[in-house]
A and B are shown apart, each in its own frame.
Chain A
Amino acid sequence: MLGFRIQRRDKPLGFYSAFVVLAAVVLALLFSGGILALRGTPPVEGMRVLLQSAFGSRWALEDSLAKAVPIFLCSLGVGVTFRLQIWNIGAEGQYAMGAVGATWAALTLPGLPWYLLLPLMGLVSFGAGAVWGLVPAFFRLRWQVNEIIVTLMFNYIAILFLEFLVYGAWKDPVSFGFPMTPTFSDNAIIPMIGMTRLNWGIVVCVLAGIAIWVFFRYTRLGFELAACGENVRAARYAGMPYNLLVYLVMGFSGGLAGWAACIEVSANLNRLQPSVMAGYGYTAIVVAWLARLNPLAIAVASFLLAGLRVGTENLQLELQVPSAFGSIMEGLILLTVLAGSFFIDYQVRRRGRL
């Protein structure tokens, strides 16, 4: 009988896997076009507006790069937890706690000079995000509680806590009822780079990226983490510090999400308001998986998905496409890439006649 034989590849597909991912993304774009057509938007025109406004001009590229900063930071941490087969779905909540932490520092000590206040905001936001990642890690290690559900529930709790503060205790008395804190003092604001739409927060991305690279490449713990990720059980038997690693990656992951939020509230919003929650934490999961958890690829994927967000915003302005279209595209891309990965990991051969 003629049929197909499926085999795990002996050696990785290497460079060609990029083509598989590309083909999957193109397929997702085609489906997205169909979904635009379903609601009466001309799909070709829609895709043109989307891509043009995301990557088609210097302004667009700067916008996309600026949006890539929080996505990259969240995704970098999330990707490291995934390597250890710990499913941190909580970057969104860790980001929310980071925003609260940074705001607390900015509102409490507004008079501090910027070279003290900005590091303090970074420290508090990192700590707040880290704690929000460490608690689920503790539940997981102590009682084997499923971290997917806990980190998710922590997202809802953190966002509600943020709302509780901006609608209540921290609300600006002269905001005419809008839920927002007072504007930060100048010392609490990360400045822009020259005449661009980028802020100096992007430097944090570069530093975090290098730190991760050095960690995996040159430290014993980094090597152990890679080993644990391959086979948790074997690594445990070999006496590797599994629990320590789980705490380390969850704290680090939460901390990076906290930094992402610190940069957003300080450089872009200059105050805390509910719109700070833009779903970067969920996009980060998509990015980490698109990049197959590789830090450099995460940088590229963050930029592309940030562009998608910029594009979707313009699609809303120009063609009245609901902003939820962005989530549809993200979901579709993730599904097609997941299915496409099959061809990276396995080979399909025609079964010959016997």
Chain B
Amino acid sequence: MNMEIIIPLLAAAVQSGTPILYATLGEIFTERSGVLNLGVEGIMFVGALVAFITARVTGDPWLGLVAGGVSGALLAGLHGLVCLNFLGNQVVSGLALTILGTGMGNYFGTSFVGLQAPGFYPLDVPGLADLPLVGPVFFHQDLLVYCSYLLVPMLWYFFQYTRWGLRLRAAGENPDAAEAAGISVLGYRWGGILVGGFLGGLGGSYLSLAYTHLWATNITAGRGWIAVGLVIFAFWKPGRALLGAYLFGGVMAFQFRLQAMGTALPSSLLLMLPYGLTVLVLILAYVRGQGTKAPAALGVNLEPRE
């Protein structure tokens, strides 16, 4: 293989990894606060649709992006209501969210199938774009990709060094102790859910505004679930999430290219690649990680005090 094939492939890997990256970072944020939200697939779907419709109606992709993020946060808010206030099972509530979200996306989206909306297009970063290899791969992308580059170290710093970040982690690791120390666990968990939902909504918005620019049924195609799997692979760390997301972006881009080149392999078999890889990556993460590194209270609701 020569560079004319590899560089576009790597650039495509970064692009198609970006929606997964946003969703994974969002889920890391939520899970660090101790809440498991399996609704990412539904949140991305609704985010993608709301962003698409808003951008189409207003003509402004930035408004679309904000609307997509907010709609993701609102949908995640249902999860917060059910799990935090009504102490419902987090696994089942998340599944319900996905069923509801994909239903909403397809229900309100049917009349938009195949239509276009204004979105984000690649912009060169002055200076950096001219670097060999790195330039065309990382710095000939759209603005949302550049935002995601910044988001990763920001989240890392947030969890590691800020007061809010440490308290959020305390809510996920040992809520009883955090409560005793005067931290509002409920408040931080609500924060975790809403911010996570917002980022998931942004991930969905990326799909309809930057990745495709048109509306298609089933636009998320399991990316939300892959993101949930990647959180485990990433050991709940933003940096490793970046790595995982680009790995998956790479496989998806590769699979598309193979199909476009007209290989003898049937497309259904190629489409299996990302899902099979998720399973493989999870097994590797567990084997190499020697057990999980999940927040200790992940998925456990706060029992009311007597």
Task: Pick the residue among A89, A149, A328, A339 that contacts B282 (CB under 8 A).
Answer: A149
A342 touches B87 (CB 8 A): yes
- Extra inter-chain contacts (8) besides given A149-B225, A345-B87, CB under 8 Å: A153-B278, A157-B276, A167-B266, A286-B99, A331-B101, A338-B88, A338-B93, A339-B88
Task: Please tell me if A58 contacts chain B, counting CB pairs below 8 Å.
Answer: no
Ordered by A's residue number, 6 sampled pairs between the chains whose C-beta atoms are within 8 Å are A149-B232, A160-B268, A160-B271, A285-B95, A331-B101, A335-B93
Interface size in chain A (residues, C-beta < 8 A): 50
With A146-B232, A156-B275, A164-B266 given, is the CB distance from A341 to B107 under 8 Å? no
With an 8 A cutoff between CB atoms, is A27 at the interface? Answer: no
Give B271 Cβ to nearest chain A Cβ, in Å. Answer: 5
Contact A328 B104 (CB under 8 A): yes
Cβ-defined contact, A341 with B88, below 8 A = yes
Given contacts A7-B304, A168-B266, contact A328 B87 (CB under 8 A): no
Residues of A within 8 A of B3 (CB): none
Q: Which residues of A contact B292 (CB under 8 A)?
A: 144
Instruction: Decide if A346 is an interface residue (CB 8 Å cutoff).
Output: yes
B303 to A8, Cβ gap below 8 A?
yes
A-B pair count, CB < 8 Å, reads: 149
The bracket for how many chain B residues form the interface is 35 or more
Nearest to A329 among chain B residues (CB) is: B103
**Interface status of B283 (Cβ within 8 A of chain A):** yes
Set of chain A residues within 8 Å of B222, measured between Cβ atoms:
152-153, 156
A164–B269 Cα distance when bound, in Å, is 7
Contacts from B to A (Cβ < 8 Å)? 38, 42, 78, 81-82, 85-89, 91-93, 95-108, 110, 222, 225, 228-229, 232, 266, 268-269, 271-272, 275-276, 278-279, 282-283, 286-287, 291-292, 303-304, 306
- Most A C-beta atoms less than 10 A away, residue of B42, B82, B96, B292: B96
A130 to chain B minimum Cβ distance, whole angstroms, is 18
The interface stretch among A192-200, A242-250, A251-259, A318-326 is A318-326
Q: Which residue of chain B lies nearest to A340 when distances are taken between CB atoms in the complex?
A: B86
Contacts of A282 in B (CB 8 A): 95, 99
Say if the beta carbon of A330 comes within 8 Å of chain B.
yes
A44: interface (CB < 8 Å): no
Q: Evaluate contact between A289 and B268: CB separation under 8 angstroms.
A: no
Partner of A39, one of B78, B86, B108: B108
Query: Are B229 and A149 interface neighbours, CB within 8 A?
Result: yes
Residues of A close to B86: CB separation below 8 A: 338-342
When distances are taken between beta carbons in the complex, the residues of chain B under 8 Å from A153 are 222, 225, 229, 275-276, 278-279
Shortest CB-to-CB span from A15 to chain B, Å, is 22
Structural contact, A339 and B82, CB atoms closer than 8 A: yes
